[in-house]
A and B are shown apart, each in its own frame.
Chain A
Amino acid sequence: MTVTKTEALPVRSGDDVVRVRQRVRALAVEIGLGLVDQTKIVTAASELARNTLDYGGGGDVRMETVLAGTRKGLRLTFEDQGPGIADIEQAMTDHYTSGGGLGLGLGGAKRLSNEFHIESTPGSGTRVTIARWK
Protein backbone atom coordinates (compact mmCIF):
# COMPACT_ATOMS: atom_id res chain seq x y z
CA MET A 1 0.00 0.00 0.00
CA THR A 2 1.34 3.41 -0.90
CA VAL A 3 0.48 6.77 0.53
CA THR A 4 -0.21 9.17 -2.32
CA LYS A 5 -0.81 12.29 -0.29
CA THR A 6 -0.54 13.36 3.35
CA GLU A 7 -2.09 16.37 5.02
CA ALA A 8 -2.61 17.34 8.64
CA LEU A 9 -4.93 19.67 10.50
CA PRO A 10 -5.25 20.71 14.13
CA VAL A 11 -8.34 19.72 16.11
CA ARG A 12 -8.42 22.33 18.83
CA SER A 13 -11.70 24.18 18.40
CA GLY A 14 -15.20 23.83 17.02
CA ASP A 15 -14.06 25.70 13.92
CA ASP A 16 -11.29 23.14 13.46
CA VAL A 17 -13.89 20.37 13.47
CA VAL A 18 -15.72 22.17 10.66
CA ARG A 19 -12.47 22.53 8.69
CA VAL A 20 -11.66 18.84 9.15
CA ARG A 21 -15.07 17.90 7.77
CA GLN A 22 -14.57 20.15 4.75
CA ARG A 23 -11.10 18.81 4.01
CA VAL A 24 -12.17 15.17 4.43
CA ARG A 25 -15.05 15.82 2.03
CA ALA A 26 -12.65 17.30 -0.56
CA LEU A 27 -10.26 14.35 -0.29
CA ALA A 28 -13.14 11.86 -0.51
CA VAL A 29 -14.29 13.53 -3.71
CA GLU A 30 -10.71 13.52 -4.99
CA ILE A 31 -10.36 9.74 -4.67
CA GLY A 32 -13.71 9.27 -6.36
CA LEU A 33 -15.92 8.13 -3.48
CA GLY A 34 -19.64 8.29 -4.24
CA LEU A 35 -21.95 10.65 -2.39
CA VAL A 36 -23.10 8.13 0.22
CA ASP A 37 -19.53 6.99 0.96
CA GLN A 38 -18.39 10.62 1.18
CA THR A 39 -21.17 11.29 3.67
CA LYS A 40 -20.18 8.24 5.73
CA ILE A 41 -16.50 9.11 6.02
CA VAL A 42 -17.23 12.79 6.72
CA THR A 43 -19.70 11.81 9.44
CA ALA A 44 -17.19 9.39 10.98
CA ALA A 45 -14.51 12.11 10.84
CA SER A 46 -16.87 14.54 12.55
CA GLU A 47 -17.46 12.07 15.40
CA LEU A 48 -13.77 11.39 15.93
CA ALA A 49 -12.76 15.04 15.65
CA ARG A 50 -15.33 15.94 18.29
CA ASN A 51 -14.04 13.22 20.61
CA THR A 52 -10.48 14.47 20.10
CA LEU A 53 -11.64 17.93 21.06
CA ASP A 54 -14.07 17.12 23.88
CA TYR A 55 -12.33 14.22 25.60
CA GLY A 56 -8.77 14.33 24.30
CA GLY A 57 -8.34 18.01 25.10
CA GLY A 58 -7.52 18.69 21.44
CA GLY A 59 -5.08 17.07 19.09
CA ASP A 60 -4.67 16.66 15.37
CA VAL A 61 -5.69 14.61 12.40
CA ARG A 62 -3.53 13.16 9.63
CA MET A 63 -5.36 12.64 6.35
CA GLU A 64 -3.84 10.34 3.75
CA THR A 65 -4.96 9.20 0.37
CA VAL A 66 -3.69 5.68 -0.18
CA LEU A 67 -3.43 3.20 -2.99
CA ALA A 68 -3.53 -0.59 -2.60
CA GLY A 69 -3.03 -2.10 -6.03
CA THR A 70 -5.53 -0.12 -8.06
CA ARG A 71 -7.79 0.59 -5.11
CA LYS A 72 -7.94 4.09 -3.75
CA GLY A 73 -8.68 4.84 -0.15
CA LEU A 74 -8.81 7.60 2.42
CA ARG A 75 -7.18 7.03 5.79
CA LEU A 76 -7.64 9.33 8.76
CA THR A 77 -5.70 9.23 12.01
CA PHE A 78 -6.95 11.25 14.99
CA GLU A 79 -4.47 11.66 17.78
CA ASP A 80 -4.47 13.40 21.12
CA GLN A 81 -2.34 13.49 24.27
CA GLY A 82 -5.35 13.55 26.57
CA PRO A 83 -6.35 11.30 29.46
CA GLY A 84 -6.78 8.22 27.29
CA ILE A 85 -9.44 5.53 27.63
CA ALA A 86 -9.15 2.98 30.43
CA ASP A 87 -11.77 0.56 29.11
CA ILE A 88 -11.88 0.62 25.31
CA GLU A 89 -14.52 -2.08 25.07
CA GLN A 90 -16.85 -0.03 27.24
CA ALA A 91 -16.11 3.15 25.27
CA MET A 92 -16.92 1.32 22.02
CA THR A 93 -20.28 0.14 23.34
CA ASP A 94 -23.22 1.97 21.79
CA HIS A 95 -24.87 4.43 24.16
CA TYR A 96 -21.97 4.43 26.61
CA THR A 97 -20.96 8.01 27.29
CA SER A 98 -18.98 9.69 30.04
CA GLY A 99 -19.89 13.17 28.88
CA GLY A 100 -23.64 13.36 28.35
CA GLY A 101 -23.47 12.44 24.67
CA LEU A 102 -25.45 9.77 22.87
CA GLY A 103 -22.51 7.39 23.08
CA LEU A 104 -22.64 6.69 19.38
CA GLY A 105 -19.45 8.33 18.11
CA LEU A 106 -16.94 5.50 18.35
CA GLY A 107 -19.30 2.65 17.44
CA GLY A 108 -20.82 4.76 14.67
CA ALA A 109 -17.41 5.73 13.26
CA LYS A 110 -16.52 2.04 13.15
CA ARG A 111 -19.70 1.10 11.29
CA LEU A 112 -19.23 3.97 8.85
CA SER A 113 -15.67 2.94 7.96
CA ASN A 114 -14.15 -0.07 6.21
CA GLU A 115 -11.27 -0.15 8.68
CA PHE A 116 -11.18 0.99 12.28
CA HIS A 117 -8.37 0.86 14.77
CA ILE A 118 -8.15 2.37 18.23
CA GLU A 119 -5.20 2.56 20.60
CA SER A 120 -5.26 4.34 23.90
CA THR A 121 -3.03 4.56 26.91
CA PRO A 122 -4.48 6.01 30.10
CA GLY A 123 -2.51 9.08 30.99
CA SER A 124 -0.89 9.55 27.61
CA GLY A 125 -3.50 9.73 24.88
CA THR A 126 -5.65 8.18 22.20
CA ARG A 127 -5.18 7.39 18.52
CA VAL A 128 -8.01 6.32 16.25
CA THR A 129 -7.44 5.36 12.63
CA ILE A 130 -10.19 4.79 10.08
CA ALA A 131 -10.15 4.10 6.37
CA ARG A 132 -12.75 4.05 3.64
CA TRP A 133 -12.01 2.36 0.32
CA LYS A 134 -13.45 3.10 -3.06
Chain B
Amino acid sequence: MDRIPILKLGGALIVTIQVDMHDRLALALEEDLTAMIARTGARGVLIEISALEIVDSFIGRMLVSIAAVSRVLDAETVVAGMRPAVAITLVELGLELTGIKTALNVERGMALIQARLSDEDDGHGSDRDRHED
Protein backbone atom coordinates (compact mmCIF):
# COMPACT_ATOMS: atom_id res chain seq x y z
CA MET B 1 0.00 0.00 0.00
CA ASP B 2 1.15 3.54 -0.75
CA ARG B 3 2.20 5.62 2.19
CA ILE B 4 3.20 9.22 2.54
CA PRO B 5 6.79 9.52 3.76
CA ILE B 6 7.37 11.28 7.07
CA LEU B 7 10.60 13.18 7.64
CA LYS B 8 12.04 13.96 11.04
CA LEU B 9 13.88 17.25 11.42
CA GLY B 10 14.91 18.33 14.90
CA GLY B 11 11.85 18.17 17.10
CA ALA B 12 9.45 18.20 14.18
CA LEU B 13 7.92 15.75 11.77
CA ILE B 14 7.45 16.95 8.21
CA VAL B 15 4.99 15.60 5.70
CA THR B 16 4.50 16.79 2.15
CA ILE B 17 1.16 15.99 0.61
CA GLN B 18 1.51 15.80 -3.13
CA VAL B 19 -1.11 13.37 -4.24
CA ASP B 20 -4.85 13.27 -4.30
CA MET B 21 -5.61 11.65 -0.99
CA HIS B 22 -7.75 8.56 -0.79
CA ASP B 23 -9.42 7.34 2.36
CA ARG B 24 -6.85 4.62 2.91
CA LEU B 25 -3.90 6.94 2.37
CA ALA B 26 -5.36 9.52 4.74
CA LEU B 27 -5.93 6.90 7.41
CA ALA B 28 -2.45 5.44 6.94
CA LEU B 29 -0.91 8.90 7.29
CA GLU B 30 -2.80 9.55 10.48
CA GLU B 31 -1.68 6.22 11.94
CA ASP B 32 1.93 6.65 10.86
CA LEU B 33 2.11 10.17 12.27
CA THR B 34 0.59 9.12 15.57
CA ALA B 35 3.03 6.24 15.94
CA MET B 36 5.98 8.42 15.01
CA ILE B 37 5.06 11.22 17.41
CA ALA B 38 4.80 8.67 20.21
CA ARG B 39 8.10 7.06 19.23
CA THR B 40 10.19 10.18 18.67
CA GLY B 41 8.58 12.59 21.12
CA ALA B 42 8.27 15.12 18.31
CA ARG B 43 6.66 18.36 19.44
CA GLY B 44 5.57 19.65 16.07
CA VAL B 45 3.97 18.29 12.91
CA LEU B 46 4.40 20.30 9.74
CA ILE B 47 2.09 19.42 6.86
CA GLU B 48 3.09 20.99 3.57
CA ILE B 49 0.16 21.28 1.14
CA SER B 50 1.31 23.66 -1.59
CA ALA B 51 0.71 20.97 -4.20
CA LEU B 52 -2.96 20.60 -3.26
CA GLU B 53 -5.24 22.28 -5.79
CA ILE B 54 -8.21 22.00 -3.48
CA VAL B 55 -8.93 21.22 0.15
CA ASP B 56 -12.39 19.76 0.53
CA SER B 57 -14.15 18.58 3.68
CA PHE B 58 -12.48 15.18 3.33
CA ILE B 59 -8.94 16.61 3.44
CA GLY B 60 -10.08 19.16 6.02
CA ARG B 61 -11.32 16.42 8.27
CA MET B 62 -8.00 14.58 7.92
CA LEU B 63 -6.04 17.71 8.89
CA VAL B 64 -8.29 18.45 11.86
CA SER B 65 -8.11 14.88 13.04
CA ILE B 66 -4.29 14.74 12.74
CA ALA B 67 -4.14 17.98 14.75
CA ALA B 68 -6.42 16.56 17.45
CA VAL B 69 -4.39 13.38 17.88
CA SER B 70 -1.12 15.32 17.80
CA ARG B 71 -2.38 17.66 20.49
CA VAL B 72 -3.14 14.77 22.80
CA LEU B 73 0.48 13.68 22.31
CA ASP B 74 1.64 17.23 23.02
CA ALA B 75 2.66 18.06 19.46
CA GLU B 76 1.48 21.10 17.59
CA THR B 77 0.25 20.93 13.99
CA VAL B 78 1.18 23.55 11.42
CA VAL B 79 -0.17 23.50 7.87
CA ALA B 80 2.18 25.26 5.48
CA GLY B 81 1.94 26.45 1.90
CA MET B 82 -1.80 26.57 1.37
CA ARG B 83 -2.52 28.22 -1.99
CA PRO B 84 -4.38 31.55 -1.72
CA ALA B 85 -7.27 30.33 -3.91
CA VAL B 86 -7.61 27.31 -1.64
CA ALA B 87 -7.63 29.49 1.48
CA ILE B 88 -10.38 31.71 0.02
CA THR B 89 -12.44 28.67 -0.94
CA LEU B 90 -12.07 27.09 2.50
CA VAL B 91 -13.73 30.07 4.14
CA GLU B 92 -16.75 29.77 1.86
CA LEU B 93 -16.90 26.03 2.31
CA GLY B 94 -17.23 26.75 6.02
CA LEU B 95 -14.24 24.73 7.10
CA GLU B 96 -12.48 25.88 10.23
CA LEU B 97 -9.11 24.34 10.78
CA THR B 98 -9.62 24.11 14.52
CA GLY B 99 -6.42 23.69 16.48
CA ILE B 100 -4.23 24.15 13.42
CA LYS B 101 -1.74 26.91 12.85
CA THR B 102 -1.06 27.96 9.31
CA ALA B 103 2.14 29.27 7.79
CA LEU B 104 2.93 30.73 4.39
CA ASN B 105 5.68 28.20 3.70
CA VAL B 106 7.77 25.44 5.25
CA GLU B 107 10.40 27.86 6.54
CA ARG B 108 7.89 29.92 8.47
CA GLY B 109 6.12 26.80 9.63
CA MET B 110 9.36 25.42 11.02
CA ALA B 111 10.00 28.76 12.69
CA LEU B 112 6.66 28.46 14.49
CA ILE B 113 7.54 25.02 15.76
CA GLN B 114 11.09 26.02 16.71
CA ALA B 115 9.73 29.01 18.63
CA ARG B 116 7.63 26.67 20.73
CA LEU B 117 10.59 24.37 21.35
CA SER B 118 12.92 27.18 22.41
CA ASP B 119 10.23 28.68 24.66
CA GLU B 120 10.29 25.41 26.50
CA ASP B 121 14.08 25.33 26.61
CA ASP B 122 13.86 28.67 28.38
CA GLY B 123 11.78 26.91 30.97
CA HIS B 124 8.47 28.52 30.04
CA GLY B 125 6.94 25.46 28.48
CA SER B 126 5.69 22.18 29.86
CA ASP B 127 8.10 20.08 31.83
CA ARG B 128 7.31 16.88 30.07
CA ASP B 129 10.27 14.53 29.55
CA ARG B 130 11.80 14.76 26.14
CA HIS B 131 12.83 11.69 24.27
CA GLU B 132 15.63 12.21 21.81
CA ASP B 133 16.28 9.33 19.46
Contact = CB atoms under 8 A, between A and B. Distances in A.
Interface of A: 14-15, 18, 21, 25, 35-36, 38-40, 42-43, 46-47, 50, 94, 101-102, 104-105, 107-108, 111-112
Interface of A is mostly: helix
Q: How large is the interface on B (under 10, 10 to 19, 20 to 34, 35 or more residues)?
A: 20 to 34
Interface string B60-93: 1100100000000000000000010110110011
A47 B23 CA distance: 14
A47 B89 contact: no
A112 B58 contact: no
Given A14-B22, A104-B94, A111-B94, A47 B61 contact: no
Interface of B: 20, 22-23, 53-58, 60-61, 64, 83, 85-86, 88-89, 92-95
B93 A39 contact: no
Contacts of B94: 94, 104, 107-108, 111
B68 to A, nearest CB: 13
